Amino acid sequence: MEAVAIGIAVLAAVAAVVAAWASFTGLKRLRALPTEVAGDREAHHRALLTDLRSGLADSSERIASRQSEEGDRLRRAVADELARNRDQLQTFERVLQEKVDARLAEIGGKVNERLEEGFKRTNETFVSVMTRLQTIDDAQKKIETLTGSVVSLQNLLGSKTSRGALGERQLEDIVRNVLPETSYEFQYTFQQAKGVRADCVLKLPEPTGLIAVDSKFPLENYERMVADGADKASPAAFKGDVRRHIEDIASKYIIPGETGDGAVMFLPAESVFAEIHAHHRDLVDLAAARRVWIVSPTTLMAVLNTARVVLKDVETRRQVHVIQDELGKLGRDFGRFDERMRKLADHIRQAHEDADQVQISSRKISDRFAAIERAELPEQASIDTPTVGAGSPRRE
């Protein structure tokens, strides 16, 4: 027990010594602590600054590398997007051009169709009008030059039969060449005067009506009057033949209620006509009183031409309402054609303006894509993008 107590005491003593030594050592270190703390803090700050600088350098390198990678990736993405947009734009322009070409082709086809239809109707109208007018003007195309050999009156008129055939043939040729077929008739038999037949009748409009033409003229005494010899006839014999022929025509061919108020005595020889008018004015006055018109081949042409003008005027008056109606229809057709042409011109002009606006928008889009590809800011791109034209409105 004592040994334990002694051991404890020794331990206590040793502990006290250790405690004292520790107190002394701690006091000494406590006194030196501010200096040590100041030195450690400076070193620590230096170490922190060194680590911070190293970390900042590493971060800067990592940020620069990341920015380079992101820039490359963004550039590739923008290039791919631009390529896709450019392809889409080209496709859009191609499709738009095809649609515009198709629309213009369709419009051109409709224009040609309507023009052909309008020209066809116009041609039909003109053909109809000209056909009707042709009926009126047929007589003008039947005038031909009459040629023949000049022979003596003695050889040509050797007998009454020859003289009658010559007069009828001359009369027929002249009438056929001047008047239309519906306005005359040869060897016409009258209805009221039984058995009376005229060499020719002219069917003129009212109030003139039928006009008989007689071509049978006695020339024996005229030949004897102008001939030299023992059997030379006096002018009185010739005048008697002419007077009797005038009276015969007036009594036979002027029929009240069937013919006109007059008849025509055709002299197939110009010399006989000249003889009567130059030396026998009393015969001319008698013929006028009896309403018999004395004509030669030349003067008959003038009479028939006058009759033809009258026929043409009457037929024109009959057809004038038809001509006016056709011309009115033609005017309305031309009015509709002009209105449709104006509408078509407006459509074509509008399509042209739309195509120009599409091209302007296409150029603007291309310019913006180019600005994006150059990595320009939107404000800078909008400022640097060239305008389409001075003073032209911007259409988005």
String of DSSP letters for 101-163:
HHHHHHHHHHHHHHHHHHHHHHHHHHHHHHHHHHHHHGGGGG----------HHHHTSSHHHH
pLDDT tens digits for range 314-335: 777 776 677 777 777 788 887 8
Are β-strands 184-189 and 210-214 bridged in parallel, bridged antiparallel, or unpaired? unpaired
- 302: in domain: no
- 177: in domain: yes
- 323: in domain: no
pLDDT at 343: 85
Of all residues in the chain, the percent with pLDDT exceeding 90 is 3
- 161: in domain: yes
Torsion of CA 371, 375, 379, 380, to 10 degrees: -70
Domain that holds residue 192: 155-295
pLDDT tens digits for range 124-169: 776 776 776 677 666 556 655 444 443 444 444 445 555 566 778 8
Contact 352, 339 (CB under 8 A): no
Query: Number of structural domains, the chain?
Result: 1
- 226: in domain: yes
Q: Give Cβ neighbours of residue 1 (< 8 Å, ≥ 6 apart).
A: none
- 79: in domain: no
Residue 394 binned pLDDT confidence (cut-offs 50, 70, 90): very low
- 256: in domain: yes
The DSSP letter of residue 182 is: G
Torsion of CA 362, 367, 373, 376, to 10 degrees: -140
Contact 172, 215 (CB under 8 A): no
Could you tell me which of 251, 256, 245, 263 has the C-alpha nearest to residue 191? 256
| CA angle 361–363–366, rounded 5-degree value | 110
